Amino acid sequence: MIYLITKYIIQKIMNKEKILSISVAAYNLEDLVKENIESFLKCKYKDEIEVLVIDDGSKDNTAEVVSEYQKKYPNTIRLIKQKNAGPGSTVNTGIKNATGKYFKMIDGDDWVESENVDKLIESIRDLDADMIITNYEIFNNKLGKIIKNLKPNLISGKIANFSEICNSNNLVMHTITYKTSILQENNIKLDNGFYTDIEYLLLPTPYIKTAIYFDLNIYVYRVARAGQSVDVKSMQKNIEMHNIVLNRLIDFYENDCKDIDENLKKYLSKRISVMALTQTLTLLSYNYSKKMKEDIKRFALSLKSKSSDIFDMYSKNKYVKFMINSNYSTVWILSILRKIKSKI
Residue 322: per-residue pLDDT: 93
**First-to-last C-alpha distance (Å) of the chain:** 71
Residue 268, helix vs strand vs coil: helix
β-pair type (102-107, 20-26): parallel
Ranges of beta strands (E only) in 66-199 are 77-82, 102-107, 111-112, 131-140, 145-150, 159-161, 176-179
The maximal CA–CA distance of the chain, rounded, in angstroms, is 85
Q: Is the pLDDT of residue 229 over 60?
A: no
Residue 231: per-residue pLDDT: 74
Tell me the HSE value of 201 on the side-chain side, using a 13 A CA sphere: 23
- pLDDT tens per residue across span 280-289: 999 999 999 9
Residue 6: per-residue pLDDT: 40
**Domain spans of the chain?**
2-223, 232-342
Residue 228: per-residue pLDDT: 54
Q: Is the pLDDT of residue 154 over 80?
A: yes
pTM of the model: 0.90
Q: Within 10 A of 197 (CB to CB), how many other CB atoms are there?
A: 22
Q: Are 95 and 19 in contact (CB under 8 A)?
A: no
At 140, which amino acid appears?
N
Fold of 2-223: Spore Coat Polysaccharide Biosynthesis Protein SpsA; Chain A (3.90.550)
Residue 226: per-residue pLDDT: 62
Residue 343: pLDDT band (50, 70, 90) is: low
Residue 242, helix vs strand vs coil: helix
Residue 344: per-residue pLDDT: 61
Q: Is the pLDDT of residue 147 over 50?
A: yes
What contacts 148, CB < 8 A, 6 or more positions away?
A: 137, 138
Residue 341: per-residue pLDDT: 77
Helices of type H across 125-229: 162-165, 180-185, 197-202
Q: Is the pLDDT of residue 155 over 70?
A: yes
